[in-house]
Amino acid sequence: MPLRRTLGFLGTAALPIGGMAPTLAMSVTGVQVVHLPGRAAPLAYLLAGAAVLLIGLGFARLSTAFSHAGSVYAFVGKTPGPGAGFVATLMLLGNYIVFPPVSVLGMAAFTQAFLRHTGIVTGADWLPIALISWALVWRLVWRGISLTARSVIAVEAVSLLLITALIVVIFVRLGTGKRSGPPNPDP
């Protein structure tokens, strides 16, 4: 079976965007992480974003120097050495093993919150939601990479629009003095 090109630029860009899941990272980690650095949380995110950009730039530069299908092992193994390449590959493998179940659990948690806050179901169990989410993901994968890539772009676009709307609502409420929730104990 010969290889054929099935994705354009947008589809190719969609896959790493979906793998990084920026809206999931912003919506899940932001709420809990803000308790650790406090008001320095935006600076921590900015520095982490700069670090990720530098890592991406490093991979782009390495891919121009080394034509190899080994990805992380090849790049890291040819620069610091094979031992570091092995460790980097193990860490990437750990990410590949942990990321799918964590993503499915994230979908279950958000679906539970949606069902509870809308009043549709108040005590939905997470396991059936997670299993349905897992089945939907497998259905997308089974249908092909093009549908998966389009779905990832659509979900991320809707998520970014919702996050942007939430930011606007927060700024409007703060600007007009209409706060909700308990007062902030941090002066």
pLDDT in tens, the chain (187 residues): 676 677 777 777 777 777 666 676 666 666 666 667 777 777 887 898 899 889 888 878 888 887 777 778 888 888 888 899 899 899 989 988 988 888 888 889 889 988 999 999 888 899 999 999 999 988 988 888 888 888 888 888 888 888 889 888 888 888 887 766 655 555 5
Count other C-beta atoms under 10 Å from residue 73's C-beta. 19
Contact 104, 130 (CB under 8 A): yes
Contacting residues for 145 by C-beta, under 8 A, at least 6 apart: 6, 7, 11, 15
Residue 104's nearest CA partner among 136, 140, 149, 134 is 134
The DSSP code for 182 is S
Contact 120, 91 (CB under 8 A): no
Query: How confident is the model at residue 86, as a pLDDT?
Result: 92
Q: How many Å separate Cα 79 from the centre of its chain?
A: 28
Distance CA 145, CA 97 (A): 20
Residue 157's nearest CA partner among 42, 28, 23 is 23
Distance CA 136, CA 152 (A): 13
Question: Residue 166 has which token pair?
Answer: 């939430």
Query: How confident is the model at residue 181, as a pLDDT?
Result: 60
Query: How confident is the model at residue 30, as a pLDDT?
Result: 61
**The one-letter amino acid at 79:** T
Query: How confident is the model at residue 171, as a pLDDT?
Result: 85
Distance CA 125, CA 133 (A): 13
Residue 58's nearest CA partner among 78, 82, 42 is 78
